[in-house]
């Protein structure tokens, strides 16, 4: 009689942990994992930046890369206001014709 009560109590404890484990899995697959993939893509983009690319910085400044300095990881960007020097990590995305093309209507 005591053994069945103990077994029921142990399985009840395990079943009460199931919703928490499910929430952690949902958070991982819908929030953490996509963010990690986005960061990997951004780091790969920042590593292959080249002169002449039109880019947007993380602060929203649009410009064209005029110089890439690999020794101190900086880039010089020409904007409407003149030339500015940024860290390579401040470049957030490329602004190319592919991204600016209007959507094709069918």
| Mean pLDDT, rounded, for 69-76 | 90
**Is 103 within the bounds of a domain?**
no
CATH number of the domain where residue 72 is located: 2.30.30.140
Q: Are residues 41 and 66 in the same domain?
A: no
**pLDDT of 35:** 93
DSSP sequence for 54-74: EEEETT--EEEEEEEETTTTE
**Is 23 within the bounds of a domain?**
yes
| High-pLDDT (> 90) share of the chain, % | 39
pLDDT surpasses 80 at 8 = no
**Is 16 within the bounds of a domain?**
yes
pLDDT surpasses 60 at 31 = yes
Place of tokens 């940024």: 86
Give the whole-angstrom CA distance, residue 65 versus residue 49: 9
Three-state secondary-structure class, residue 76: strand
Kindly state the helix (H) or strand (E) to which residue 84 belongs, with its residue range.
strand 82-87
Three-state secondary-structure class, residue 75: strand
pLDDT surpasses 80 at 81 = yes
Domain total in the chain: 2
- Show which of 48, 65, 82 is a domain's final residue: 48
Give the whole-angstrom CA distance, residue 96 versus residue 101: 9
Q: Which domain holds residue 2?
A: 1-48
**pLDDT of 105:** 60
């Amino acid at each position: 009689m005591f053994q069945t009560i103990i077994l029921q109590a142990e399985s009840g404890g395990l079943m009460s942990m199931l919703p928490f484990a499910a929430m952690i899995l949902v958070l991982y697959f819908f929030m953490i994992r996509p963010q990690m993939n986005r960061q990997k893509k951004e780091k790969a983009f920042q590593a292959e930046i080249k002169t002449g690319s039109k880019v947007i910085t993380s602060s929203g400044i649009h410009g064209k890369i005029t110089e890439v300095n690999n020794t101190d990881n900086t880039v010089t960007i020409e904007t409407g206001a003149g030339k500015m020097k940024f860290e390579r990590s401040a470049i957030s995305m490329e602004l190319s014709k592919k991204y600016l093309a209007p959507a094709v209507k069918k």
